[in-house]
């Protein structure tokens, strides 16, 4: 680490000391509107009438900072963020705060969901300065875009050890005037420290196979088991997040584990998925999941519902159902798919980004109930039953005597029809409440995850409507977000596509289209996925390190091209890019896809051994990369029953691990790679099981496999 941190620590103290200095700013006339007026992001538009003279990130704001020689106040958040709303109301609607910011800073507001590159860059800086991060993110930059002070939420006046925001900006302005050379030197050193050192000398030899691979996977399982909560599931303490990559990689490792360790994995995954589905993080009457649980029991969620969580949790529950056979996991996956189709679908076919945590200015109000409200909707008998079934006591389990519904054991003697009747009645009653805000922008990456989830659900469950929804979303993205030059935009709203796509957009959409190919066998989706894969290699691949850059480097206003191969709230885009390349190789047999994928995995082997919990999405790829790829292709024909028989067998724990492709009987024949000249036999659905270029004799009966 460069010697920037001690100086930054001293500067932080200086700013806090300066916060105590008196002095009122000159009051500018408040503006009724600001420079956000032309934006489409719902988050930015929430601030369009603030008296703060906000700019969007761009040359207009950055050149103004250079011309006026002022520091930049950068505020990054997102529309579903509760504390972002709080800070806006407390500080950004305050005329005195706005006047001081307008006089001494250039203020820039960024939607982190539209600009994940800026969010990651400056969040890294905040974490280095403070040891933690979150949103709203508050960062102060030099006119050269180098960060020198940062944090998250600041209250309007000092409390709980945090300075008041007005005091803070006064202190920063004074320090900028009086200690500018020191600030700029520290900012340069911090900026240099943000560049990831990748990687140390890679391990000798190739990727692990056989016993070496099995041992590496066992070591990973032990690391996760050490952090496992045996009572409530999940890993670590509260707050608990749905770390889907952790669960999916452990399920993928099952064939490589001794039975005792495999049973441990099954128990960890089963306990976690069961507890999440029973808690308040899962919407018991509407389907879908909230962002995370604030407690270790999964009882009380942080209420925002994000598209990316549905896109990662649905495949995880499907994996759990296939491997563990729990009917509840299938129910949760179906209900979450139905939630996407019912509530989150744009008329054009793609999916909206998020719903807010708040409604009527109160966090969680839309989702919380009292026993009296249940009785009002259901009557005395069913209301009392629902209170017992869904954990709604008189005292409440949430705030103000309310409770978030969670699943408890049904009271004895429950009429079987009550379950569905009560859920339907409560859902209808809740729909009459004022709903949380809807962020209706369409993001390429998150839609890629949704396409992946729905296409996988269509394939696993044999539900054509899920596959069709994935197909519609993919068609919208191809029409609306791909430019004439073949490069993609990240965000679409109100008829306008904007912001260059980043690695996660290309990677998640590539894998989503590959999942759609797996569900349909339609060559179109494989061809489109290959085009995305080629752009990833051309514009994002770093041959030196073997790790993808997060951006293509074309935006000169971004201080650094970041590389972050570890998992976050979503799977590592680097891992998903590698997975997509491995799948493209498996389906096309073109070596140009496999070589960089193997290089990327090899570059991270040391990190996988030292920090397996940070690299679950990458660990999951090691079995896929070992040896020749296994692909099971089912060619549809005849009655639906023959396809269903193969679907049931190949998705069970008894089937050998393989990439699965189900070609619908109506799909045009695919002439690429493995799929050329693979007809159905005897008018029945036919399996071709291939390892690399070698395929076994076709089969029409799963019992003969």
Find how far residue 675's CA is from the centre of its chain. Answer: 32
Residue 535 tokens read as: 């752009």
Give the pTM.
0.94
Taking only the tens place, the pLDDT of each residue in 596-621 is 999 999 999 999 999 999 999 999 99
Tell me what pLDDT residue 28 has. Answer: 45
Q: Is residue 202 one of the residues assigned to a domain?
A: no
Q: Is residue 171 one of the residues assigned to a domain?
A: yes
The better pLDDT of the pair 470, 160 is held by: 470
Is pLDDT of 412 > 60? yes
What do you get for the CA distance between the two ends of the chain, in Å? 57
Taking only the tens place, the pLDDT of each residue in 277-312 is 999 999 999 999 999 999 999 999 999 999 999 999
Residue 176 tokens read as: 């900028």
Q: Where are the alpha helices (DSSP H) in 279-343?
A: 307-324, 327-343
Tell me what pLDDT residue 245 has. Answer: 96
Taking only the tens place, the pLDDT of each residue in 185-198 is 999 999 999 887 65
**Residues 600, 484: one domain?**
yes
Q: What is the CA radius of gyration of the chain?
A: 26
Task: Indicate the average pLDDT of the chain.
Answer: 92
**Residues 521, 670: one domain?**
no
Taking only the tens place, the pLDDT of each residue in 322-335 is 999 999 999 999 99
Which H/E stretch holds residue 196? none
- Find all residues with CB under 8 Å of 424, minimum gap 6, and list them: none
Virtual torsion, Cα 181, 185, 190, 195, nearest 10 deg: 130
Q: What percent of the chain has pLDDT over 90?
A: 85
Taking only the tens place, the pLDDT of each residue in 533-580 is 999 999 999 999 999 999 999 999 999 999 999 999 999 999 999 999
C-alpha–C-alpha distance, residues 206 and 220, integer Å: 19
SS3 content of the chain, % helix, strand, coil (to 5): 50, 10, 40
Beta bridge partners of 439: 354
**Residues 371, 303: one domain?**
no
Q: Is residue 490 one of the residues assigned to a domain?
A: yes
Is pLDDT of 263 > 60? yes
Q: Is residue 203 one of the residues assigned to a domain?
A: no
Tell me what pLDDT residue 683 has. Answer: 85
**Residues 471, 537: one domain?**
yes
**Residues 329, 397: one domain?**
no
- Of 385, 407, 432, the residue at which a domain comes to its end is 432
Select from 306, 239, 248 the least CA-distant residue to 273: 248
**Residues 418, 450: one domain?**
no
Angle between helices 327-343 and 444-461 (to 10 degrees): 130
**Residues 421, 352: one domain?**
no
Q: Is residue 621 one of the residues assigned to a domain?
A: yes
Tell me what pLDDT residue 86 has. Answer: 95
Q: Is 609 helix (H, G, I), strand (E, B) or coil?
A: helix
Taking only the tens place, the pLDDT of each residue in 422-449 is 999 999 999 999 999 999 999 999 999 9
Q: Is residue 200 one of the residues assigned to a domain?
A: no
Is pLDDT of 490 > 80? yes
Tell me what pLDDT residue 584 has. Answer: 98
C-alpha–C-alpha distance, residues 206 and 602, integer Å: 7
Taking only the tens place, the pLDDT of each residue in 106-143 is 999 999 999 999 999 999 999 999 999 999 999 999 99
Tell me what pLDDT residue 24 has. Answer: 34
Angle between helices 503-520 and 573-588 (to 10 degrees): 40
Taking only the tens place, the pLDDT of each residue in 216-247 is 999 999 999 999 999 999 999 999 999 999 99
Number of domains in the chain: 4
- Find all residues with CB under 8 Å of 167, minimum gap 6, and list them: 19, 20, 157, 158
What domain range is 55 assigned to? Answer: 4-193
**Residues 331, 390: one domain?**
no
Tell me what pLDDT residue 671 has. Answer: 74
Taking only the tens place, the pLDDT of each residue in 157-166 is 999 888 999 9
- Of 193, 228, 257, the residue at which a domain comes to its end is 193
Q: Is residue 245 one of the residues assigned to a domain?
A: yes
**Residues 543, 451: one domain?**
yes
Q: Omega into 136 within 30° of 0, i.e. cis?
A: yes
- Of 164, 193, 222, the residue at which a domain comes to its end is 193
Is pLDDT of 211 > 50? yes
Tell me what pLDDT residue 489 has. Answer: 98
Residue 559 tokens read as: 């201080």
Q: Quick one: pLDDT band at residue 676, thresholds 50, 70, 90? A: confident
Q: Quick one: pLDDT band at residue 641, thresholds 50, 70, 90? A: confident
Could you tell me the CATH number of the domain that includes residue 158?
Answer: 3.40.30.10
User: How far apart, in Å, are the Cα atoms of 127 and each of 132, 151, 370, 653, 678?
Assistant: 5, 8, 40, 42, 54
**Residues 87, 32: one domain?**
yes
Q: Is residue 65 one of the residues assigned to a domain?
A: yes
Residue 457 tokens read as: 């659900």
Taking only the tens place, the pLDDT of each residue in 579-599 is 999 999 999 999 999 999 999
* pLDDT, average across residues 367-374: 98
C-alpha–C-alpha distance, residues 637 and 635, integer Å: 7
**Residues 166, 307: one domain?**
no
**Residues 29, 89: one domain?**
yes
Q: Quick one: pLDDT band at residue 638, thresholds 50, 70, 90? A: low
Taking only the tens place, the pLDDT of each residue in 12-43 is 544 544 443 333 333 343 444 799 999 999 99
């Amino acid at each position: 680490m460069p010697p920037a941190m001690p100086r930054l620590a001293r500067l932080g103290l200086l700013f806090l000391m300066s916060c105590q200095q008196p002095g009122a700013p000159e009051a500018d006339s408040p503006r009724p509107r600001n420079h956000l007026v032309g934006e489409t992001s719902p988050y930015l538009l929430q601030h369009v009438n603030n008296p703060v003279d906000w700019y969007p990130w761009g040359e207009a704001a950055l050149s103004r900072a250079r011309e006026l020689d002022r520091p930049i106040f950068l505020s990054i958040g997102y529309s579903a963020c509760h504390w972002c709303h709080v800070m806006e109301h407390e500080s950004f609607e305050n005329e005195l705060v706005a006047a001081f910011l307008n006089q001494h800073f250039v203020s820039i507001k960024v939607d982190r969901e539209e600009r994940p590159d800026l969010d990651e860059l400056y969040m890294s800086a905040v974490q280095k300065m403070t040891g933690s991060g979150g949103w709203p993110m508050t960062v102060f930059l030099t006119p050269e875009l180098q960060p020198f002070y940062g944090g998250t939420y600041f209250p309007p006046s000092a409390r709980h050890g945090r300075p008041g925001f007005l005091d803070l900006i006064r202190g920063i302005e004074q320090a900028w005037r009086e200690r500018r050379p020191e600030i700029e030197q520290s900012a340069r050193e911090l900026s240099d420290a943000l560049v990831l050192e990748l990687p140390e000398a890679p391990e000798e030899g190739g990727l692990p196979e056989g016993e070496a691979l099995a041992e590496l996977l066992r070591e990973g399982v032990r690391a996760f088991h050490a952090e496992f909560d045996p009572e409530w599931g999940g890993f670590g303490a509260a707050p608990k997040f749905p770390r889907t990559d952790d669960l999916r990689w452990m399920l993928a490792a099952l064939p490589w584990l001794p039975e005792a360790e495999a049973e441990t994995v099954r128990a960890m995954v089963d306990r976690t998925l069961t507890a999440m589905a029973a808690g308040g993080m899962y919407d018991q009457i509407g389907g879908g999941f909230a962002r995370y649980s604030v407690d270790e029991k999964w009882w009380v969620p942080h209420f925002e519902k994000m598209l990316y969580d549905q896109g990662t949790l649905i495949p995880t529950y499907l994996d759990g159902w296939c491997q563990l056979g729990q009917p509840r996991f299938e129910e949760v996956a179906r209900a979450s798919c139905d939630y996407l189709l019912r509530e989150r679908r744009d008329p054009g076919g793609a999916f909206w980004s998020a719903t807010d945590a708040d409604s009527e200015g109160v966090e969680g109000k839309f989702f919380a109930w009292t026993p009296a409200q249940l009785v009002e909707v259901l009557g005395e008998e069913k209301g009392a039953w629902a209170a017992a079934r869904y954990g709604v006591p008189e005292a409440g389990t949430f705030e103000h005597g309310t409770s978030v519904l969670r699943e408890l054991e049904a009271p004895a003697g429950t009429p079987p029809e009550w379950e569905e009747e009560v859920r339907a009645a409560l859902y209808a009653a809740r729909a009459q409440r004022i709903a949380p805000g809807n962020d209706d922008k369409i993001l390429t990456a998150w839609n890629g995850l949704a396409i992946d989830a729905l296409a996988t659900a269509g394939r696993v469950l044999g539900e054509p409507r899920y596959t069709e929804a994935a197909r519609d979303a993919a068609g919208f993205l191809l029409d609306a977000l791909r430019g004439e030059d073949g490069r993609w935009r990240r965000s679409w709203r109100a008829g306008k596509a904007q912001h260059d796509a980043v690695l996660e957009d290309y990677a998640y959409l590539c894998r989503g289209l590959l999942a759609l190919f797996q569900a349909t066998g339609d060559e179109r989706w494989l061809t489109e996925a290959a085009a995305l894969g080629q752009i990833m290699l051309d514009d994002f691949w770093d041959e030196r390190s073997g790790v993808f850059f997060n951006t293509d480097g074309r935006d000169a206003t971004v201080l650094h091209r970041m590389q972050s191969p570890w998992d976050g709230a979503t799977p590592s885009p680097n891992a998903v890019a590698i997975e997509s390349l491995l799948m493209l190789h498996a389906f096309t047999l073109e070596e140009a896809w496999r070589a960089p994928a193997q290089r990327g995995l090899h570059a991270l082997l040391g990190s996988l051994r030292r920090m397996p919990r940070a690299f679950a999405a990458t660990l999951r790829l090691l079995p896929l990369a070992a040896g020749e790829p296994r692909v099971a292709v089912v060619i549809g024909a005849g009655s639906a029953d023959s396809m269903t028989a193969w679907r049931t067998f190949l998705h069970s724990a008894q089937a050998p691990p393989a990439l699965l492709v189900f070609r619908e009987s109506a799909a045009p024949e695919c002439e690429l790679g493995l799929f050329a000249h693979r007809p159905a036999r005897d008018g029945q659905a036919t399996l071709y099981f291939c390892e690399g270029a070698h395929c076994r004799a076709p089969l029409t009966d799963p019992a003969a496999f």
